[in-house]
Amino acid sequence: MDDRKKPLEDRIRSAVASSEFVKANALWVEMGDRLRCEMAVRPLPAARLLQTRELLAWCRTMALVNRARCQQRLNQLAISGRYTASPAAAPPQRLLARF
């Protein structure tokens, strides 16, 4: 199925689940425009607003999880870099005094 034929909510979930946050952001802008247009015509049903809120909460949770995973990976790389650095790569130490 062509991605553009999927419901907007499914496309947002798919983008967030695959860590395509720039795409997800653009889809959220489209969602906001769509909601504004619909609200200009008539009030939105509470169920629709609740579904949108739940999607937003899910996206937030997924973004926080992704951020935590990235931070953990960066921490692992920093630690492993300390162990793999060769002593020759360390800057020479200056002696303050000779006896």
pTM of the model: 0.72
DSSP 41-99: HSPPPHHHHHHHHHHHHHHHHHHHHHHHHHHHHHHHHHHHHHHH--GGGSPPPPPS---
Is residue 93 in some structural domain?
no
Is residue 90 in some structural domain?
no
Is residue 65 in some structural domain?
yes
Give tens-digit pLDDT for 20-59: 999 999 999 999 999 999 999 999 999 999 999 999 999 9
pLDDT attached to residue 44:
94
pLDDT attached to residue 88:
57
Is residue 40 in some structural domain?
yes
Is residue 97 in some structural domain?
no
Domains identified in the chain, total number: 1
Is residue 16 in some structural domain?
yes
Is residue 95 in some structural domain?
no
Give tens-digit pLDDT for 77-94: 888 877 776 555 556 666
pLDDT at 9 over 80: yes
Residue 41 domain boundaries: 3-80
Is residue 86 in some structural domain?
no
